[in-house]
Amino acid sequence: MMTLYSGTTCPFSQRCRFVLYEKGMDFQIIDVDLFNKPEDLAVMNPYNQVPVLVERDLILYESNIINEYIDDRFPHPQLMPADPVMRARARLFLFRFEQEMFSHVIAIEKGTQKQADKGRQTIRDALTQIAPVFAKQKYMLGEEFSMLDVAIAPLLWRLDHYGIQLGKQAAPLMKYAERLFSRPAYIDALTASEKVMRK
């Protein structure tokens, strides 16, 4: 059985919980108090961060690596494209999400007022830029739900919580977000702390 060490308010842990529920398999989630981390977390992950996935002798950290492993191990439903070209493109998108959006989450959560404001502005601009895509298609890669949707969902859920206001031009993105939030696996994967982040 897979065990996921997960932060109850951690957007990266939420990605992994979402994938586990989407796959509908047997797993165990251990909630980690981010302000009082267990000592064995630093043994499993040299960066002393969640999420961490443990399966027998395998220990993985970094949400995108964990999720690709789960997807390879339990291919139904498949969340990464089967075609090597599309898969490489998907990985590039995931990398861009980290660089252009999720890298600013830390500034919003832990930085100075100035850093947090800059982070909000950067994320707002990046999201506004991709919003028109969803006027034409249901999900990031077209009609099929994929790992890209999993990756961005925790950020979209936290927009109010992070104080990120999007303009009218982001309406297609907000409709897309509601599609993600209504998935049964998404609802099941939410922690009590995450549920209260959204009004």
Per-residue pLDDT reduced to its tens digit, 106-120: 999 999 999 999 999
Alpha helices, DSSP H, located in 24-165: 39-44, 63-73, 84-100, 105-110, 113-130, 133-136, 147-157, 159-162
The catalytic residues are 10
Selection from 49, 19, 53, 45 nearest residue 37 by Cα: 49
Question: Greatest CA span in the chain, whole angstroms?
Answer: 49
Boundaries of every domain in the chain: 2-77+190-195, 84-183
DSSP state of 77: S
2-77+190-195: CATH number: 3.40.30.10
For residue 199, what pLDDT band results from cuts at 50, 70 and 90? Answer: confident
> What is the rounded average pLDDT for all residues in the chain?
96
d(CA 116, CA 106): 8
Q: Are 8 and 31 in contact (CB under 8 A)?
A: yes
Sign (positive or negative) of CA dihedral 13, 15, 16, 22: positive
Dist CA 67 CA 61 (whole Å): 10
Give 16-30 pLDDT, tens digit per residue.
999 999 999 899 999
Q: Model confidence over 42-97: pLDDT tens digits?
A: 999 999 999 999 999 999 999 999 999 999 999 999 999 999 999 999 999 999 99
pLDDT on residue 52: 98
Q: 3-state class of 5 per DSSP?
A: strand
Fold equal for 2-77+190-195 and 84-183: no
Which pLDDT does position 188 carry in this prediction? 98
Which CATH number does 84-183 carry? Answer: 1.20.1050.10
- Which one-letter amino acid corresponds to residue 108? I
Provide the residue count of the chain.
Answer: 199
